[in-house]
Structure 1
Amino acid sequence: MTKIEVLGTGCAKCKRLFANAEQAVKDLKITADVVKVEDLAEIVGRGVMLPPALFINGEVRAEGRIPDVNEIKEMLNGVKP
């Protein structure tokens, strides 16, 4: 199963990125685990210096910006679960 993580402290941008990720999963009709990571120690431990960040299957795909739904769908199209 694909794992999508949104790393951020819970700000409005982080919430928007999380919503975009959920919408992309819904639009593609795929099974994915979409989770929020709000623990600051874990965020810093993963090397994220500018939240929000989007990780797909453990790989950083965006940092410091909010990809729109279509961009996230493109990211997910090439991902193997």
Structure 2
Amino acid sequence: MKKLQILGTGCSSCNKLADMTQKAAMDMKLEFELEKVTEIDRIMAFDVASTPALVVDGEVKVWGRIPTHDEIVEMIT
């Protein structure tokens, strides 16, 4: 099971990334858990310069922008 985390404070970009990530994972029929990390101290622990960010199994894949659907698929595969 993949652990997918969206880092962000709940802004519209963070919510969009969460929705796009969930859709990509469902399209792939991937077994996954999606968590929205909104606490600043937890976000800072990932050492990202800006949000939103996508973390897959503990590894930051992208931060500071919303990737395309195809990029998300590649990141979570």
TM-score range, shorter chain: over 0.9
How do residues 45-56 of structure 1 correspond to structure 2 at under 5 angstroms? 45-56=45-56
Runs of 4+ in structure 1 over 2 Å off: none
Q: How many residues align?
A: 77
**Gapped regions of structure 2 (runs ≥ 5):** none
Task: Indicate the SS of the match to 1:41.
Answer: helix
Percent identity of paired positions between Structure 1 and Structure 2: 39
**Gapped regions of structure 1 (runs ≥ 5):** none
TM-score for both structures, normalised by structure 2: 0.94
Matched, 1:24 2:24: yes
Query: 2:46·2:60 contact (CA, 8 Å) conserved in 1?
Result: no
What does the per-residue CA deviation read over 1:29-67, in whole Å, with 9 as the maximum and x for residues that have no partner? 110001100001110122122111100000000010111
CA RMSD of aligned residues (A): 0.8
